[in-house]
Amino acid sequence: MLKMTRTPTYLLLAVGLAFQTCGQTTKSGEDFTIDPDIEHEAEKYISPLGANELDTLGLIYSNQLKWDLFEEGKLVHSTKDTTASMPFKAFYYWTSDSLHIDGGFGIFTTLGFAVTICDNKATVKHLLSVDEFPIYKLYETDSLQLRIDVPCNNTKLTLTALPNMYESEPVYGLVEFESEDFYEEGNDGIKKFRSNMIIYFRAIKMDF
């Protein structure tokens, strides 16, 4: 995965994020927390990116990437002790009675997370996606995919609020996770990876 010669994903850094919520308005859930103060902490990590002709909605901003990448069980890349920043996008929307929040580093590829909140319960997954050629798979015997959502362990999710369907204010948050193994095809063939990430974010409302 992530090869400079093949424009691998971990160097392209594109994230996608998806939260789902079943109309919940409680102050906390089984495995997530509502804390309005997380906005102030998130603002320390994000900053304006400047004009971008691809960003007509004002969706993209600069965000610090806190990421450990493991290849075949060995740590091969880490930005957790740096202030490295990358373009980042985040938004939220509804399908039926579920709230989704998607966000991630990159524009045409995505390295990030997908969270589902339903019935007051959150499930965090590591999101990996690419636009052109399928390079990912969850299991060694799977076919290559454009996008995979990788199960995670030791997850933490904090949001400023769970907006209802009629609200349009930005939502700030923090997500932390340790992903399970996944596979990516690169110049050296298909290898096994896993990621640990800490991501602060601001998501704006989108109507589809």
- 38 membership: H or E segment, kind and range: helix 38-42
Domain that residue 168 falls in = 4-205
Write out the two tokens for 207.
Answer: 């109507």
Separation of alpha carbons 86 and 84, rounded Å: 7
Q: What is the pLDDT along the chain (208 residues), one digit of tens a residue?
A: 443 334 444 434 433 333 333 433 344 555 889 999 999 999 999 998 876 655 556 688 999 999 999 999 999 999 999 998 999 988 888 878 777 888 889 988 899 988 887 878 888 999 999 998 999 999 999 999 999 999 999 999 999 998 778 888 899 999 999 999 999 999 999 999 999 999 999 989 988 7
Nearest one of 183, 128, 123 to 153, comparing CA atoms: 123
Global pTM exceeds 0.75: yes
| Number of domains the chain is built from | 1
